[in-house]
Structure 1
Amino acid sequence: MVTNDVSMNRFKHNIMEQVCRLEWEGKNDPEHIEELILKIIPGPKPSYRCCIYKEREIVRQRIRLAMAKSPSYNPDSTNIVQVIDPACDECPIAAYSVTDNCRFCMGKACLNSCKFGAITPGDTHMHIDPAKCKECGMCANACPYSAIVHLERPCKKACPVGAITYDEYGYCKIDEEKCIQCGHCIHSCPFAAIGSKTFLVDIIKEIKAGKEVIAMCAPATEGQFGEDISMASIKVGLQKLGFADMVEVGLGGDMTAAYEAEEWSEAYNSGRKMTTSCCPAFINMLKKHFPEQYRDNMSTTVSPMCAISRYLKATRPGCVTVFIGPCIAKKSEAQDKSVPGNADYVVTYGELRALMRSKDISFEPITDEYQESSIWGKRFATSGGVANAVIECMQERGEDTSGIKLLRAAGGAECKKALTLLKVGKLPEDFIEGMVCPGGCVGGPSKHKDISEINKARETLLAKADERKVLDNLKNYPMDKFSMHRDGH
């Protein structure tokens, strides 16, 4: 898939793969790590940056992220998303800049429109002093030649909650009090200067220790690796890798839909509006930016990931649960210990492929069939999928849903707008389905292919699923053995 950091993706995934190989071989120590750095950046000439020393420092910090550590200059940070400072040094500091289209005209509308004295005449065109510029945009609007452009950094542009700023040297800084860990900034950066902590080393240690490590594959997984790679294919591949088993989290979608349906019914009958609780970035947005709505309007039902993790921990005591999906924010959900029984680790598709390459394993088409989820749980990954599944459960209970009004908010801007309307009491809909990624989870920041390719393969695979009902499907599972509420009670 082509992204801003497509050429660097291979580079950083190679680092993950090599770190995993060291862990499998029991050589993940400082001496072998230094050898790895020299192996990746042998020199004497640089390949990406100004010098091999900067390149080696970037590799060193990426290795720390690959081992679930924060960069060495920010060691105490608990944020999943981290900036690699040595890689963040090529973006322009000025937000507004005068281009060569400037005709140095006599009218000087830009100068006259600036109320802060930031614009002065240069030798051949006008000049903007970034120290004085307040980024109001008046000069750009006033220029008759459109010679002034707004140069918004891609990482800042991608952030839906304004969590990214810059220090006096132009280095990107993440406000961890605002960051919702969605990870959209990661792939927006053309210098691959932002990354996330990776838990592959920890997972390898658990497998090598002989623990029962169970993979939980997100509903978005079907279609990520092509129409020939079914969930059964993925299950076999993961077992070759060392996982004891795999369960599809679409089953957790069934569980969440059934319990959210009960909450929705109660809320609808009492006139209270409610939001879904599946997307962790949406939950982080609620928690950090709309705390009253988080307290009063959010569903208390756990996410499908947490539901499957609790199910596995209740039925297979001592197991280690690993969620696999396209979501960065799921890593922050797993790290939130206020919700007991959640996944122990989270891995993205790119990280999974790096882990598989470290053992020279690949997915292969097979003829076996495997399905634990209803089609409604499988479609949790697309925008509208959660709401549709909840409505399906209400209808399966015989409830009339014709009067229910839904808002399917997909993308950070839509979610923020919906929650703002809810906050000021002007939301006309009864329920908000919030997904911070456009298109839903299948459009997550760590999707494996272009969204159109994924959806085409996905529909081919989903067409093979049977038509089991959600509530009937759940009768096959011990729902009384674990809680579906966030507090665990």
Structure 2
Amino acid sequence: MVTNDATVLRIKHDVLYEVAKLAWEGELEEKKSDIPYKIIPGPQAQFRCCIYKEREIIRQRVRLAEGKCPKGMDSRNVVQVINAACEECPIASYVVTDNCRKCMGKACQNSCHFGAISMNETRAHIDPNKCKECGKCAQACPYNAIAHLERPCKKVCPVDAITYDEYGVCVIDEKKCIQCGACIHSCPFGAIGSKTFMVDIIRLIKAGKKVVAMVAPAVEGQFGSNITTASWKNALKKTGFSDMIEVALGGDMTAAAEAEEWAKAYKEGKKMTTSCCPAFVNMIKQYYPMLLDHMSTTVSPMCGVSRMIKAEDPEAITVFIGPCTAKKSESLDLNITGNADYVLTIGEVRAMMRAKGIELEPAENTEQDGSVFGKRFGNGGGVAGAVIQCLKEMGENTDINVMKCSGGAECKKALLLLKVGKLPADFIEGMVCTGGCVGGPSRHKTEMEFKKDRDTLIAAADGREVHENLKNYPMDKFSMHR
């Protein structure tokens, strides 16, 4: 069975491409049922037990690509389980390996308080129906013969939102899920995905609407040092978007607004958190609601740019493009006015482009929307760096202590310290993805793979200060606060 990441990604992108192609041609409704047969022609199964299961998985992926739930259920959760693909992971969490010597001491059996361990002819056996997964047996075994087999999706979830039904199929608790998408690419069977809005956006473009793309700072460098923001702008305009604006500009906007909040809070002795990472915001809302008063009221860079565009043209449709899944949930939050209408991951927008025969081509940047500080917003520590730069430009104190959290575990630790009144820092920069937005679940390359190219592109930007850069934009026509 071939289950490597490249295979999973190929199938995912093949489905996105086929759906986008049919949507551009206006034949999606008539021909979408043919996609499973085109991708899985048969007669032999390629990855699963039979072609019928493989085709059912493709059918459920097509529904996700349409922005629907895989099984037709009503759910606002962006992250969804493709049930037909979730089947091969072991149900038991603790299993006895061949290292077991069936020793006379029976340390594992004696340590179990639930009667889950028995002895067969050759080794110990754990009854999964009785096992409470406490791990005492694994700790007690002198031969390390008991392995903890934690499913990849459950292991990476920072908020324990994943459980399993009676058949061992993954279940996402939507009340706990913060939509970070960490589980999506951890699954070796591609059994978790996110809804896409490609079809809606294609229909709006075909209808002649003014659809403006907003490209995240974290996209720079993912396709080499010669693929610049100008490359993206050219390709997106060929695809049908009316225009493209760098969300690095939004980074400048957010940094300037947040700096004012930080300066005031610091003087009052109040500790604050950032609010630009939607997964971090979801974490605070769902797990630490008592800390909402400490969260910055400044909107995200995505929302700031969207509000600017809509202030100039209320009929414009705004589409954010980046490596973040949680941004999709932010765009669906009805409590934030003027936010992006739709969100596309890098893979989704490239499927739209390839379906029209358009590729990213090298181009020299002649003008850029964001400052260097706004461009670094996608890096871990980049938000704090931009805010401190703004405090410096404002003549405010910059000798402040910022706890820069990279990853869900660090975010949870910082929020817990703030909750109990023991946070040593003045402010928290919360980024649920390790390394910041550049480590987002839908990135094209890993952070280390494109770091050099990204640094090269950012270094090529001019040295404008944040407030100097913002003078070129109508900041007085919209609000940067919730």
TM-score, with normalisation over the residues of structure 1?
0.97
Counterpart of 2:185 in 1: which secondary structure? helix
C-alpha deviation, 1:123, in angstroms: 2.0
Q: Hey, what does 2:85 align to over in structure 1?
A: 87
Alpha-carbon distance in 1 for matches of 2:474, 2:326? 28
Q: Hey, what does 1:308 align to over in structure 2?
A: 305
User: Where do residues 246-325 of structure 1 align in structure 2 (5 Å cutoff)?
Assistant: 246-294=244-292, 296-325=293-322
Matched AA of 2:296: S
Unpaired runs of 5+ residues, structure 1, are: none
Matched AA of 2:38: K
Alpha-carbon distance in 1 for matches of 2:278, 2:39? 35
Q: Hey, what does 2:241 align to over in structure 1?
A: 243
Matched AA of 1:47: Q
User: Where do residues 71-470 of structure 1 align in structure 2 (5 Å cutoff)?
Assistant: 71-73=70-72, 75-294=73-292, 296-402=293-399, 404-470=400-466
Alpha-carbon distance in 2 for matches of 1:11, 1:401? 49
- Contact 1:321–1:343 (CA under 8 A) maintained in structure 2: yes
Alpha-carbon distance in 2 for matches of 1:89, 1:112? 33
- Contact 2:69–2:80 (CA under 8 A) maintained in structure 1: yes
Alpha-carbon distance in 2 for matches of 1:216, 1:16? 20
Matched AA of 2:50: C
C-alpha deviation, 1:382, in angstroms: 0.5
- Contact 1:12–1:62 (CA under 8 A) maintained in structure 2: yes
User: Where do residues 1-20 of structure 1 align in structure 2 (5 Å cutoff)?
Assistant: 5-20=5-20
Identical-pair percentage: 66
Counterpart of 1:187 in 2: which secondary structure? coil
C-alpha deviation, 1:40, in angstroms: 1.6
Alpha-carbon distance in 2 for matches of 1:90, 1:451? 30
Matched AA of 1:428: P
Alpha-carbon distance in 2 for matches of 1:367, 1:87? 43
The superposition leaves residues 192-214 of structure 1 with CA deviations (integer Å, 9 ceiling, x where unpaired) of 00000011111100100001111
The superposition leaves residues 37-74 of structure 1 with CA deviations (integer Å, 9 ceiling, x where unpaired) of 2212222211111111111111111000000001225x
Alpha-carbon distance in 2 for matches of 1:43, 1:447? 32
- Contact 1:20–1:358 (CA under 8 A) maintained in structure 2: yes
Q: Hey, what does 2:28 align to over in structure 1?
A: 28
Q: Hey, what does 1:62 align to over in structure 2?
A: 61
- Contact 2:35–2:59 (CA under 8 A) maintained in structure 1: no
Alpha-carbon distance in 2 for matches of 1:181, 1:408? 21
Matched AA of 2:156: A
- Contact 1:231–1:370 (CA under 8 A) maintained in structure 2: no
Matched AA of 1:7: T
- Contact 2:229–2:365 (CA under 8 A) maintained in structure 1: no
Alpha-carbon distance in 1 for matches of 2:222, 2:365? 19
C-alpha deviation, 1:265, in angstroms: 0.9
C-alpha deviation, 1:150, in angstroms: 0.3
- Contact 1:5–1:188 (CA under 8 A) maintained in structure 2: no
C-alpha deviation, 1:84, in angstroms: 0.6
C-alpha deviation, 1:317, in angstroms: 2.7
Counterpart of 1:97 in 2: which secondary structure? strand
Matched AA of 2:393: E
Counterpart of 1:173 in 2: which secondary structure? strand
Alpha-carbon distance in 1 for matches of 2:289, 2:395? 34
Alpha-carbon distance in 1 for matches of 2:480, 2:86? 42
Alpha-carbon distance in 2 for matches of 1:368, 1:278? 26
Give the stretch that moved more between structures: 80-89 or 37-46. Answer: 37-46
C-alpha deviation, 1:368, in angstroms: 4.2
C-alpha deviation, 1:399, in angstroms: 1.1
Counterpart of 2:299 in 1: which secondary structure? coil
- Contact 2:250–2:304 (CA under 8 A) maintained in structure 1: yes
Matched AA of 2:319: V
Counterpart of 1:185 in 2: which secondary structure? coil
Counterpart of 1:370 in 2: which secondary structure? coil
Alpha-carbon distance in 1 for matches of 2:114, 2:58? 42
C-alpha deviation, 1:4, in angstroms: 6.1
Alpha-carbon distance in 2 for matches of 1:272, 1:113? 48
Matched AA of 1:431: F
- Contact 1:4–1:187 (CA under 8 A) maintained in structure 2: no
- Contact 1:67–1:200 (CA under 8 A) maintained in structure 2: yes
The superposition leaves residues 299-325 of structure 1 with CA deviations (integer Å, 9 ceiling, x where unpaired) of 001000000000001112311111000
- Contact 1:4–1:188 (CA under 8 A) maintained in structure 2: no
- Contact 1:311–1:481 (CA under 8 A) maintained in structure 2: yes
C-alpha deviation, 1:108, in angstroms: 1.1
Count residues with an aligned counterpart: 480
